[in-house]
Structure 1
Amino acid sequence: MAITGIVMMAYADGFHGDSIIGVALAVGSASTSALYKVLFKMFLGSANFGEAAYFISALGFFNLIFISSAPVILYFTKVEYWSSFAALPWGYLCGVAGLWLAFNILVNVGVVLTYPLLISIGTVLSVPGNAAVDLLKHEVIFSVVRLAATTIICIGFLLMLLPEEWDEITLRFINRLKEKKNEEQTEDVTESSVHIRSRSRANGTVSIPLA
């Protein structure tokens, strides 16, 4: 559902060359992020404070070795061109890096120190928060498609807050509703048969209800 919301956001902006590349990168990022979270839960499970700190350090070292070389490779292969280092928006780059570091620390360590539900709710609130910033600061006009995309993304995040056995709980709840409905129907049939029998006795006849 989150990937559907991303594609709908791109559709609201209009598909063109740069937009398609951005959608592909966003979908790939969302997919790898989901895979990362699943593998983290599978192998580490509920990590303590030391394990979370060790994992973040190892992740940062991995990014420094492998990810930092990507811009250098793109520069020497003439895929990207840097006019000068002074022209780069270092303030924005450092700000994004600092916020991303704080986000990872708060998410991974916050799960250990607080409650996973609290961290998940905070992640959900980031979607309408970004939309509010775009609306107030950048004066982005939200069309029906944008609102629907934002809603779908939020629903996708909320689905992750469901308990692990939500499908079994839902099936048990549906079965209980069916059993209760069947019991009510049986009671209605019994009451109707008793009513017919009493009327038949009043008329001097005997009526045997069919099963």
Structure 2
Amino acid sequence: MGFTALQFFGRCSLFCLLWVVTNYMFVCSLRILDTTDVIALFSSNVSFIYLLSWVVLHQQFVGIRIVAVILCNTGIALLAYMDGVPETPTLGGVVLASTAAAGSAVYKVFFKKLIGDVTSGQLSIFFTMIALLNLLAMWPIFIFLHLTHIETINWSQLPWVPLVSAAILSLVINLIGNFGLVCTYQVFLSFGLILAVPASSVIDIYIYGVVFKGMELAGISLIVIGFLLVLLPDNWPDYINILLKIHRRYQKRNKSRLKETESLSGQKSRLRTANGMVK
């Protein structure tokens, strides 16, 4: 990877901090907002990734992606004020979920900037170090909160089945997200995130009885549209030109076929009398 052990340890510590803070804000937002709203807000991280990549990684400027960023930010604003009063907990939940999305974008962009392209083995070592640092840094905080009774845990009342299921799914998601690039393209992995929005909405409606209001639906829709616009390739106008050319060729073929059928029908009509008899 091209840097010393001290630099490697320091960068692992930085990404460990980003990882913990981002996941903590994401989980806290789930206590305030519906799951669909949180996932939609977290999906806006693609717009933050583009802005940071443009500034930090000096990627190509694409005008349609700026439109996508504006749509995502508009959707976030609509979700923040969907209850009408800015003093409600909704605003805090939207801020937490949006900050988690921004933290995820910082994590991904600076990973590309500071770590660069790595092999699967190097990536495994890197995430192993982050996990160890996470374990070493978090257990003193857990003991402090428990001993000071700021946050006590009743082990007999914990929902172990949902917790274990969530832990397993989180592990699978992180493995697919980080190692899936070896097997497939980033765009396919990104589509998985946006497909979680309609899936979670179905679960919220039929299991938890959630009713989505007009402003809430508008905010989620704008974020989804912005997400899809960010995924457009840099040369997307070329694909539109190709489709237009194919459409024009198809129209020309239809016109030529119509002319041929008209000419054939005209010839047949001249060979017959008005009663339909052959001359």
TM range (shorter): 0.5 to 0.7
Give the superposition deviation at 1:6: 4.8
1:32 matched residue in structure 2: 103
Amino acid at match of 2:146: Y
Deviation at 1:122, TM superposition (A): 1.2
CA distance in 2 between counterparts of 1:21 and 1:76 reads: 28
1:61 corresponds, among 132, 150, 155, to 132
Aligned residue for 1:151? 221
Return closer, same or farther for 1:52/1:93 CA change in 2, 3 Å cut-off.
same
Question: Which of the two has higher C-alpha Rg?
Answer: 1
Instruction: Report the TM-score, using the length of structure 1 for normalisation.
Output: 0.65
Structure 2 counterpart of 1:151, one-letter code: S
Note if contact 2:81-2:91 (Cα within 8 Å) is conserved in structure 1. Answer: no
Change (3 A) 1:45 1:69: same
Task: State the identity as a percent.
Answer: 35
Measure how far apart 1:68 and its partner are. 4.5
The farther-off stretch of 104-113 and 143-152 is: 143-152
Query: Gaps spanning 5+ residues in structure 2: where?
Result: 1-40, 45-71, 239-279
Cα RMSD between the aligned structures?
3.0
Q: TM-score by structure 2 length?
A: 0.51
CA gap 1:32/1:10 in 2 versus in 1, 3 angstroms:
same
Q: 1:81 offset after TM fit, Å?
A: 3.4
The reply on whether 1:23 has 2:77 as its aligned counterpart is no
Does the Cα contact within 8 Å between 1:56 and 1:105 map onto a contact in 2?
Answer: no
Determine the C-alpha separation between the residues in 2 that align with 1:118 and 1:51: 23
C-alpha distance in structure 2 between counterparts of 1:159 and 1:79, whole Å: 44
Question: How many pairs were matched up?
Answer: 168
Counterpart residue number, 1:208? none
Corresponding residue of 1:138: 208
Aligned partner of residue 12 in structure 1, secondary structure: coil
Rounded to whole Å, the distance in 1 between the matches of 2:212 and 2:173 is 27
